[in-house]
Amino acid sequence: MNGSKHYNCVLCKRRHSQRERRKVYGDTRKILEKHFAVFNISTSAVICNRCSHLCYKKKKTKNTTIQSQSSVSDEYYPPLKIPSLQHPDKSPPSVTLAIPSTSISHSYCFVCKKPGPKLIVTPTYARYRTYIQSEIFVQSGSRCCPGHIENGILSKDAIDKVKASKDSCHLNRSAILELLQQAREEVLKNEGTRLDFDEPTGLSDSDYYNLTGLTRKQFDDIMTNVNTIRTTQTRSIRTCVAILLTKLRSGMDNQMLGTIFNMKKFQIRRAVQSARKALMAEFVPRNLGFSHITREEIIQTHTRPLAQQILSNVTSAPAILVLDGTYIYIQKSGNYTFSRRSFSMHKRRPLLKPMMIVSTTGYIVSVLGPYLADPKNNDSSILNHSIHSNTDEIKTWVREDDIFVVDRGFRDSESLLNDLGIRMEMPAFIPKGQKQLSTEEANSSRLVTKVRWVVESVNGRIKTWRYLGKTLPNSQIPCIGDYVRIVCSLCNKYRPPINSGTFDDDITIASTMTMLAKKTNELQQFVLENGLDKRSMKWTSIDADSNTITDFPRLTEGDIRNLTIGVYQLKTAKSYAAEHLTDDGLFEIFVSDDIPNIVSAKIQSRHTSSKKYSLWIKYDITILSWYCTCKNGSRVVGMCGHISCIIWYLAFARYQNESCGIRDWTEEVDDAARSIDSSEDEDTVDYDGQEE
């Protein structure tokens, strides 16, 4: 056999035995050149029986076509068009593509190269998935070991072992159609399972809002402000911004985002970083910060008439700003110095504190910080530091006679603000030795809280982007300030004002509150002078649903809201009432035969189980006055939640067939303090729990 010559088929390139090959003659040579694009065929070239049969079929098909065309009348096919039909321009039935491919053999596995005999033909879908994942085309008819196939496809280990033996592959028409069909089925199967923000009809408007917190129109508006993000093969500019907003809105980690966006974890991290930098450079400065809006715009557009009417006592309208710190929780740090400085004694956990500065309508003017959480970074210290260092140009923006509405944590900033000519409005402190505020102090505090509540709502609004409400990893500490500012900018741009009152309603409420603030609590004086709060006073306990107090005025929830001058007390009234309803549906109050038109009650404190508050309500045709022993119970500008509870129940709820809507879940949870069944006799049980 030395010096033997190998004869490979000119078409399939395989080596065959002598009995399976034949020489290439004239007609076969023409068919190979015309239909199979095989040129420069030598005189010694051979063709196998199988390929020769293919050429014969082509020749037979050609003769059949010519005969059928010759039998057609010239009326339908003129003679001039017959030559073009005889020589149509057709694409070759097989092509060579520059796609890496594996070797094809029936005798050994194309994955591990081990010889047979127990080999199986690789399934079509397994070949397609291998090409998708490794970009190596597996030739049709290739065989592999059965252990490489899992659930109809190659296992991950097998795909990693697949190596390309050729730089190209020879595909016929059937293989190309099969590949296209598999690709189409895969697209149809995965349609709608991945988020696509680039497709115009891919997501609905509600999908945009659920994922990003913005409608589609608002998201498109953001895209007009972002131009510096680089488009890559894995994500577009829209997808990059959508990943960041979805992360902020849902609080999902990068691995989860990678699953729903069909990206790797490091690709998600890069997308978030790119979008954050782009929004901070191009979007945030236009919607947040003292430099993006003037004092006149705040006064004219973002100040409630109620706040101007209650707090302003000068001819020129001042700028009224509401300040408060919020909390962004973080992980416990392994750096002990930072761990001590970031630990809040108030919340008993590590956190950072951004300082929110908002208008009285809830428009966020600026965000300072975030700051550390130790005692050296209380609210007063943060404000003093910001003013001294002129953070965000705050000293340039404010003017004399402007008003800062704050809580009691800013008490140490009063002297500094007075030096700048800024008036500070703050709730009053209970003097040492007293148990509650006086009527004048309680009334003035209510005027302040009527304006100050808006900053608490703003803090709650930004936490609807759930990422800011989570405990953030320490690796995100340098980005927390950017995340807070991005969310605040989105709120300013696309959220409506927090308050919903009209101009006339604000003026009416402000006039009512300022008028009531000048009054004294007559019922408080009557209770103290006549000793109604003493134990010697005889009060009769009755069910509030009894017919004893049928003369108590009947009111609507709107009427009660006018008395409370707010919705918060009305909401807490339902919770207080639910706690004081017994299993029999009874609600206990006290009346006295000696004092008509006055009812009394005791309400359990929601904070301390050992404390109860006594209260009195005077009525006639309507509610005349009220008094409670809680810290704010002596005010006449509105009322506390304890008083509103009794008024809400007696004047409204007891006439309704519905419950309070507050469900008690105590019975649904195990309670170790629950009493043992009295039928169990402990004397009959030994130390092992066995009955004697």
DSSP per position, 319-376: PEEEEEE--EEBPPPSSHHHHHHTEETTTTEEEEEEEEEE-TTS-EEEEEEEE--SGG
Q: What gap in Å lies between CA 241 and CA 211, rounded to an integer?
A: 12
Q: Has residue 481 got a pLDDT over 80?
A: yes
**What is residue 103's predicted lDDT score, i.e. its pLDDT?**
82
Q: Which residues are registered as beta bridge partners of 364?
A: 358
Q: What gap in Å lies between CA 458 and CA 479, rounded to an integer?
A: 21
Asked if 484 contacts 468 with a C-beta cutoff of 8 angstroms, the reply is yes
From the centroid of its chain, how far is CA 628? Answer: 42
**What is residue 361's predicted lDDT score, i.e. its pLDDT?**
93
Mean pLDDT taken over the chain: 84
Query: What percent of the chain has a predicted confidence (pLDDT) above 90?
Result: 43
**What is residue 89's predicted lDDT score, i.e. its pLDDT?**
45
Q: Find the mean pLDDT for residues 664-674.
A: 75
Q: Which residue has the higher pLDDT, 334 or 544?
A: 334
**pLDDT tens sequence across 584-600:** 556 778 888 788 889 88
Class of the domain covering 286-506 = alpha beta
Q: Has residue 646 got a pLDDT over 60?
A: yes
Spatial CA neighbour of 343 closest among 335, 351, 331: 351
Every domain of the chain and the residues it spans: 18-86, 94-190, 205-282, 286-506, 520-666
Burial status of residue 304 (CB atoms within 10 A of its CB: 0-12, 13-18, 19 or more): buried
Q: Has residue 81 got a pLDDT over 60?
A: no
Q: Has residue 682 got a pLDDT over 60?
A: no
Q: Has residue 636 got a pLDDT over 80?
A: yes
**pLDDT tens sequence across 130-164:** 888 888 888 888 889 988 988 788 888 888 888 88
From the centroid of its chain, how far is CA 47? Answer: 67
**pLDDT tens sequence across 573-630:** 888 888 777 655 567 788 887 888 898 888 888 888 888 889 999 999 899 999 999 9
Asked if 249 contacts 494 with a C-beta cutoff of 8 angstroms, the reply is no
Q: What gap in Å lies between CA 152 and CA 144, rounded to an integer?
A: 13
Return the top range by mean pLDDT from 29-33, 188-192, 664-668: 29-33
Asked if 419 contacts 395 with a C-beta cutoff of 8 angstroms, the reply is no
The DSSP string of 505-543 is HHHHHHHHHHHHTT---HHHHHHHHTTTTSTTS--EEEE
Cα dihedral across residues 263, 265, 267, 272: positive or negative: positive
Point out the least confidently predicted range of 264-273, 371-380, 532-541, 542-551.
542-551
> DSSP 3-state assignment of 22?
strand
Q: Find the mean pLDDT for residues 93-98.
A: 76
**What is residue 232's predicted lDDT score, i.e. its pLDDT?**
81
Task: Give pTM, 2 decimals.
Answer: 0.71
pLDDT band at 432 (very low <50, low <70, confident <90, very high): confident
Asked if 45 contacts 26 with a C-beta cutoff of 8 angstroms, the reply is no
Point out the least confidently predicted range of 42-56, 90-104, 158-172, 238-252.
90-104
**pLDDT tens sequence across 303-354:** 999 999 998 865 678 999 999 999 999 999 999 999 999 999 999 999 999 9
Asked if 139 contacts 169 with a C-beta cutoff of 8 angstroms, the reply is yes
Q: Has residue 78 got a pLDDT over 60?
A: no
Q: Has residue 546 got a pLDDT over 70?
A: no
Indicate the helix (H) or strand (E) that contains 95.
Answer: strand 94-97
**pLDDT tens sequence across 225-242:** 888 888 887 788 999 999
Q: Has residue 419 got a pLDDT over 80?
A: yes
Give the C-alpha distances (Å, rounded to integers) separating 87 from 98, 141, 610, 667.
Answer: 29, 34, 103, 89
Residue 663 tokens read as: 């469900």
**What is residue 669's predicted lDDT score, i.e. its pLDDT?**
82
**pLDDT tens sequence across 238-264:** 999 999 999 999 999 999 999 888 889
Q: Find the mean pLDDT for residues 639-646.
A: 91
**pLDDT tens sequence across 362-374:** 999 999 999 999 9
Classified by CATH at the fold level, domain 18-86 comes out as His-Me finger endonuclease fold (3.40.1800)
Q: Has residue 274 got a pLDDT over 50?
A: yes
Asked if 451 contacts 248 with a C-beta cutoff of 8 angstroms, the reply is no
pLDDT band at 194 (very low <50, low <70, confident <90, very high): low
